[in-house]
């Protein structure tokens, strides 16, 4: 057995159907009385209902959360925090809204309740990415880890079929990279394999019938596990590529993850054979790279970066940025291979895992 370090993260998780009804008691458990409810403009009505449900524990609503946590949005939220004298935040939404709660916590130390409505996984991580003047920087600090997470399966029923597929594969990407992380450990690897399996079996069912409650429950359980993997260990090439494509080419987050993942896995396969066995087992297929590509197709997701806005002329610059300061990766990150990977992802070629031992 390899030696390892396991670092447990302190958060309280409430999981089930109808669990939103426990929000007031969870706020009380934190010792708080005046919550600021956070949302995107799109989920404003849902957030208003949450505020009403809170009664005197609800201090106000700020519904301007935006993708990649722009600092000007956070600064406006900070003025609301001060004006209302709030003592905690409640973020209801996906990674964008939860990111805003984290950005406020970083500046104030206010406790957070996160109520995720996508599968992105931010609620389980001490990671915050913030955008200033168009540049996104990411940090890891326990100060931003939400104290309480309420997973309510009912809240995911409204997530459209298309977004459910790409958001679920965004979650799978965290577990895939956790399986070959430099700081991987047996507990997180168990969670990763279980998380991939739960999402791989539920996402195609959701694509057919977004109201299937058993599949929704399975998917949210998988998202919790995969988010925990992201929070616990370091990510590698796949996340670096997606952060490059999102940050420098403005490609949409979950779709980018969905398209790039099979190709990143194909690239890393020769250097991470044990991880590949576990990913294939979780997917129920022979070749993990092809299996992930087929899963994307099964949920009706895009499979080519050119479908979401990348052009052939962008591949050179994306290769240069992604290889400049690479994250640790099990296989050496070399420009020619990354250029080829990105070209395959651009055109949507069905990948096959490369064979041989590259380290």
Ligand X SMILES: NC(=O)c1ccc[n+]([C@@H]2O[C@H](COP(=O)([O-])OP(=O)(O)OC[C@H]3O[C@@H](n4cnc5c(N)ncnc54)[C@H](O)[C@@H]3O)[C@@H](O)[C@H]2O)c1
Ligand Y SMILES: O=C(O)CCC(=O)CC(=O)O
**List of residues contacting ligand X (CB under 6 A):** 40, 42-43, 67-68, 93-97, 99, 117-118, 120-122, 125, 127-129, 155-156, 158-159, 167, 230, 253-254
Nearer to ligand Y, 57 or 243 (CB): 243
Q: Output the CA angle 285-197-224, nearest 5 degrees.
A: 155
Nearer to ligand Y, 58 or 168 (CB): 168
Q: What is the dihedral of CA 293, 299, 174, 245, to 10 degrees?
A: 70
Nearer to ligand X, 73 or 155 (CB): 155
In the list ligand Y, ligand X, none, the entry touching 242 (Cβ below 5 to 8 angstroms by class) is ligand Y
Nearer to ligand Y, 120 or 338 (CB): 120
Task: Please state, in angstroms and rounded to a whole number, the distance separating the CA atoms of residues 235 and 253.
Answer: 16
In the list ligand Y, ligand X, none, the entry touching 240 (Cβ below 5 to 8 angstroms by class) is none
Q: How far is the CB of 78 from ligand Y (least distance, A)?
A: 19
Chain residues in the site for ligand Y (CB under 6 A): 99, 127-129, 138, 170, 230, 235, 239, 242
In the list ligand Y, ligand X, none, the entry touching 239 (Cβ below 5 to 8 angstroms by class) is ligand Y
Which residues are CB-contacts of 173 (< 8 A; sequence separation ≥ 6)? Answer: 226, 238, 239, 242, 257, 261
In the list ligand X, ligand Y, none, the entry touching 117 (Cβ below 5 to 8 angstroms by class) is ligand X
**Rg from Cα positions in the chain:** 20
Which residues are CB-contacts of 37 (< 8 A; sequence separation ≥ 6)? Answer: 47, 48, 50, 51, 54, 58, 60, 61, 62, 89, 90, 92
Q: How far is the CB of 356 from ligand Y (least distance, A)?
A: 29
Q: How far is the CB of 104 from ligand Y (least distance, A)?
A: 14
Tokens coding 46? 């849902």
- The answer to whether the beta carbons of residues 108 and 81 sit under 8 Å apart is yes
Nearer to ligand X, 35 or 63 (CB): 63
């Amino acid at each position: 057995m390899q030696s390892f370090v396991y670092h447990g993260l302190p958060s309280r998780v409430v999981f089930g159907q109808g669990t939103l009804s426990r929000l007031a008691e969870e706020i009380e458990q934190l010792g708080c009385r005046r919550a600021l409810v956070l949302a995107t403009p799109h989920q404003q009505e849902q957030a208003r209902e949450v505020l009403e449900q809170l009664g005197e524990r609800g201090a106000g609503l700020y519904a301007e959360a935006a993708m990649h946590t722009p600092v000007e949005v956070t600064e406006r939220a900070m003025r609301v925090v001060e004006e209302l004298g709030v003592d905690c935040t409640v973020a209801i939404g996906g990674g964008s809204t939860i990111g805003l709660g984290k950005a406020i916590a970083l500046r104030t130390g206010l406790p957070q309740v996160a109520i995720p409505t996508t599968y992105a996984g931010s609620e389980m991580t001490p990671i915050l990415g913030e955008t200033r003047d168009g540049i996104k920087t990411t940090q890891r600090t326990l100060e931003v880890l939400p104290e309480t997470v309420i997973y309510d399966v009912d809240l995911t029923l409204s997530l459209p079929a298309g977004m459910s597929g790409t958001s679920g594969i965004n979650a799978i990407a965290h577990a895939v990279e956790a399986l070959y992380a430099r700081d991987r450990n047996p507990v997180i690897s168990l969670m990763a394999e279980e998380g991939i399996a739960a999402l791989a079996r539920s996402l195609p069912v959701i694509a057919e019938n977004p109201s299937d409650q058993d599949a929704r429950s399975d998917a949210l359980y998988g998202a919790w596990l995969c988010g925990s993997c992201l929070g616990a260990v370091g990510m590698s090439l796949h996340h670096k590529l997606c952060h490059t494509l999102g940050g420098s080419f403005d490609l949409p987050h979950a779709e980018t993850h969905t398209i790039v993942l099979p190709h990143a896995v194909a690239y890393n396969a020769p250097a991470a054979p044990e991880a590949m066995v576990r990913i294939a087992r979780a997917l129920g297929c022979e070749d993990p790279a092809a299996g992930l590509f087929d899963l994307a197709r099964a949920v009706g997701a895009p499979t080519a970066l050119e479908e979401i806005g990348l052009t052939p002329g962008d591949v050179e610059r994306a290769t240069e940025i992604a290889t400049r300061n690479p994250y640790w990766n099990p296989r050496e990150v070399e420009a020619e291979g990354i250029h080829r990977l990105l070209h395959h992802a651009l055109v949507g070629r069905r990948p096959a895992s490369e064979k041989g031992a590259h380290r």
